[in-house]
Amino acid sequence: MTVYVIDDHPLMRDALTMLVHRVKPGLKIIPIHKLNVVESTVEKNGTPELFCLDLQLPDTLGMSGVQVLKAKFPNVPLAVVTSASASEFEARCLDAGANAFIEKSNSPTQIIAALRGLLVTEEEETEEDAAPAGPTKLSKRQKQLILMLDQGLSNREIAEKLDISEHTVKVHFWRLFRRLGVNSRTQALHFARTNGWLGI
């Protein structure tokens, strides 16, 4: 499986490549400098496991890169990694199908945490599909999220307590909701209470 880092700045491609290697050392990482060579590069290098996309490429305008990638590769996780403002672009990127919005100004630790949330291994997927959800099947982070939900904490408060970005908190919730088969914080909390998990 392969991660494609799409950014026209060589130093940023190198930096992201190093951060992805820290998340998952065995991954094959292919740098790409513009969007119009993505399909031919994927054909040569193999199935994508994740795209890391900068919004500001020579051959894109605004949201066009997100829209093109999701149209061609709808089932591949997409992390927008950009210097563009979250206040202006985050909601639009997520609405267009991106799984995470990561500002380049974030710390390496925050960027790694956000990317880790999207790089789910096949073994994890198999485990999730094979067994019903239970406290022992949740990650340490997912157990923390449930307890913080019970405390009524906001995403911002959770981010501060865990020393991660709000973007990363959203990625963790996305994985937790998928794990539990629910669609909201309220449903996740109800599931936890119904199953007696709040002692975890």
The pLDDT value given to residue 197:
80
What global pTM score does this model have?
0.64
| 108-139: pLDDT as tens digits | 988 888 888 788 544 444 444 444 555 557 77
The pLDDT value given to residue 26:
83
The pLDDT value given to residue 136:
52
Q: Answer yes or no: is pLDDT of 188 > 60.
A: yes
The pLDDT value given to residue 130:
44
Handedness of CA 186, 191, 192, 194 (dihedral sign): positive
Query: Cβ distance 58 to 83 under 8 Å?
Result: no
SS3 81: strand
The pLDDT value given to residue 135:
59
Give the Cα separation of 197 and 3 in Å (integer). 36
The pLDDT value given to residue 179:
80
Nearest to 20 by CA among 162, 118, 126, 167: 118
Give the Cα separation of 116 and 138 in Å (integer). 16
List Cα–Cα distances, 115 to 17, 61, 103, 129, in angstroms: 11, 24, 12, 22
Query: Cβ distance 24 to 117 under 8 Å?
Result: no
199 DSSP assignment: T
- Rounded to the nearest 10°, the torsion over CA 110, 118, 166, 161 is -70
Task: Kindly state the average pLDDT of the residues 78-102.
Answer: 89
List Cα–Cα distances, 70 to 30, 54, 65, 148, in angstroms: 18, 14, 9, 32
Higher pLDDT, 73 or 168: 73
14: pLDDT confidence band, cut at 50, 70 and 90? very high
The pLDDT value given to residue 23:
85
67: pLDDT confidence band, cut at 50, 70 and 90? very high
